[in-house]
Amino acid sequence: MRPFSSDHDTSGRGPLSGLVVIDLTRALAGPHAAMMLGDLGATVIKVERPGGDDSRGWGPPFAGDESTYFLSANRNKLSITLDLTSPDDHGTLRRLVERADVLMENFRPGVLDRLGLPVRRLAELNPRLVVLSITGFGHDGPEAGRPGYDQIAQGEAGLMALTGSGPDDPQRVGVPVADLLAGIHGAYGVLAALIDRRRTGRGQVVRTSLLAGVVGVHAFQGTRWTVAGQRGRAEGNHHPSICPYGLFPTRDGVVQLAVGSQDLWNRFCAEFGLDPGADGMATNAARVSRRDHVIALVERLFADDDTEPLLARLAAAGIPAGRVRDVDEVYQWEQTRSQGLLLPVRHRTLGDITLPGPPLRFFDLSGTETTFAGHTAPPVLGGDSDAVHAWLAEEPEAAGEERW
């Protein structure tokens, strides 16, 4: 259901069409989670204080008066401004809660209570409501009250210690990945709670945090410690458990190489005239234990080759390899375009713009693509307030509500 007569009203349907999401979040983790549901066809009503989401001021760069940071996390949403210290506006929020399927918030623990909307009150207003709550370090425990900022979370959750040229060179990931992971985990938690609601008829609270989002993707670096007692460290652009697997210089640039199986090692050796069973290189474990030697060997092999012919040679031999693209090259790459990862939309003040597109596509079993096509640009501040108030003034039956 997209019941609003506005620039954001579309006829496109997605798998979450009919779902109404109230987005009380700001900055990135929560807005990203809400945008993921909007990308799937949900009606997302972004509730902003009169000054707007903090990220509306995060720049440069700006496009006109619009922050490109805000544009990255708020497509497929409507915006209404509410001053939650005002009794009238607080009443509007309560009516939204009564009509919604999902409420998302990323306040510090206790803030929603102080706003007069603790979980028990939300359940009274709408027992079917699913609540997503995102914090920096968790909702309980000795450091629950800490504010959540991405780079701090990257450091505290161990990611920076695993990223960089070496143990003395901790580096942040080039995007706010702790925020993004918390949002992604939060969105899939909401979907699980909605499925459970179909069975029980009742909503529930989903909690996650920036800390949990990063620890949740430690993958082999986590079990490396918890099972093997081995502490991971930053090791530059080479894999700690597979060799050769990493970034290698060429005469005019670099290539990425991934020799991820014994069969690929045999192919690599055949292509470059090496003995796959040579002493200290016959197995992956042996190569990892002599990683510096193997890396130096591959670097010598590639030193006199230009990048493009080398990539073509590796591809012909069936050996996974790739280049390192700048961001502008990624968006100019035909493969990126072919996957629907560039999204043209019309913005109310900027006109026609292109956004990075959502990462999911859908097809029916006959092979016909059914991906949601009704995408809309991020909203201007408060631009849909009149439409949202008009919807709230209608009786639910008259609005023809479809309960997801």
Cα–chain center distance at 296: 36
Structure pTM? Answer: 0.92
Burial class for 309, CB neighbours closer than 10 Å (0-12, 13-18, 19+): exposed
Picking from 284, 319, 354, the residue at the C-terminal end of a domain is 319
312, 331, 171, 335: which is closest to 255 by C-alpha? 312
| Total residue count of the chain as it appears in this document | 404
3-class DSSP assignment, residue 299: helix
What are the C-alpha distances in Å from 123 to residues 131, 204, 327?
Answer: 10, 9, 45
Q: Are residues 297 and 390 in the same domain?
A: no
Q: How confident is the prediction for the chain on average, in pLDDT?
A: 93
Say yes or no: 45 and 101 in one domain: yes
- Residue 302 falls within a domain, yes or no? yes
Q: Are residues 284 and 383 in the same domain?
A: no
Tell me what percent of the residues of the chain surpass a pLDDT of 90. 92
Q: Could you list the residue range(s) of the whole structural domain that residue 180 is in?
A: 20-218+333-399
Q: Is the CB of residue 1 less than 8 Å from the CB of residue 401?
A: yes
Report whether 310 contacts 252 (CB < 8 A).
no
Confidence at residue 400, expressed as pLDDT on a 0 to 100 scale: 42
Same domain, 131 and 273: no
Query: Which residue pairs, CB below 8 angstroms and at least 24 apart, start in 152-157?
Result: 153/178, 153/179, 153/210, 153/211, 153/213, 153/214, 154/178, 154/214, 156/211, 157/210, 157/211, 157/214, 157/215
> Of 319, 342, 363, which residue constitutes the final position of a domain?
319
pLDDT attached to residue 2: 47
Q: Check whether 25 has a pLDDT greater than 70.
A: yes
The string of pLDDT tens digits covering residues 149-159 is 999 999 999 99
- Report if residue 249 sits inside a domain: no
Q: How many CB atoms neighbour CB 392 within 10 A?
A: 16
Residues 65 and 166 in one domain: yes
Give dist(CA 56, CA 61) in Å, integer.
11
Picking from 31, 29, 7, the residue whose alpha carbon sits closest to that of residue 21 is: 31
The reply to whether 251 falls in a domain is: no
Query: Cis ω on the peptide bond leading into residue 378 (within 30° of 0)?
Result: no
Query: Residue 12 falls within a domain, yes or no?
Result: no
Sign of CA dihedral 262, 263, 266, 267: negative
Report the C-alpha gap between 15 and 24 in whole angstroms. Answer: 23
Q: According to the model, what pLDDT value does residue 207 have?
A: 97
Sequence-distant (6+) residues with CB within 8 A of 402 are 1, 17, 18
Dump pLDDT digits (tens) for 144-201: 989 999 999 999 999 999 999 999 999 999 999 999 999 999 999 999 999 999 999 9
In this predicted structure, what is the pLDDT of residue 12? 56
Judged against a pLDDT cut of 70, whether residue 404 lies above it is answered with no
130 occurs within a structural domain: yes
Q: Does some domain include residue 346?
A: yes
Q: Where are the beta strands (DSSP E) in 250-371?
A: 254-258, 321-322, 342-347, 351-356
pLDDT band at 238 (very low <50, low <70, confident <90, very high): very high
Question: Does residue 396 have a pLDDT over 90?
Answer: no
Rounded to an integer, what distance in angstroms lies between the CA atom of residue 398 and that of residue 371? 29
Residue 10 Cα to chain centre, angstroms:
24
Residue 204 domain flag: yes
From residue 253, give the alpha-carbon distance in Å to each of 260, 311, 328.
Answer: 22, 11, 17
CA distance 341 to 333: 10
pLDDT of 401 over the 60 cut: no
Domain co-membership, 299 together with 169: no
Evaluate the CA torsion angle 232, 236, 239, 244 in order and state its sign: negative
**Structural domain tally of the chain?**
2
Active site residues: 179
- Split at pLDDT 50, 70, 90, the class of 5 is very low
Question: Please, what's the b/e burial string for 256-285 (b: 16 or more CB within 10 A of its CB; e: otherwise)?
Answer: bbbbeeeebbebbbeeeebeeeeeebeebe
Q: What integer pLDDT is reported at residue 9 of this predicted model? A: 45
Strands 205-209 and 130-135: parallel
pLDDT single digits (tens) 37-62: 999 999 999 999 999 999 999 999 99
Q: Which residues pair with 205 in a beta bridge?
A: 131
Pair (139, 164) in one structural domain: yes
> Is the pLDDT reported for residue 4 higher than 70?
no
Tens digits of residue pLDDT in 87-141 = 999 999 999 999 999 999 999 888 999 999 999 999 999 999 999 999 999 999 9
- The C-alpha R_g of the chain, in whole angstroms, comes to 25
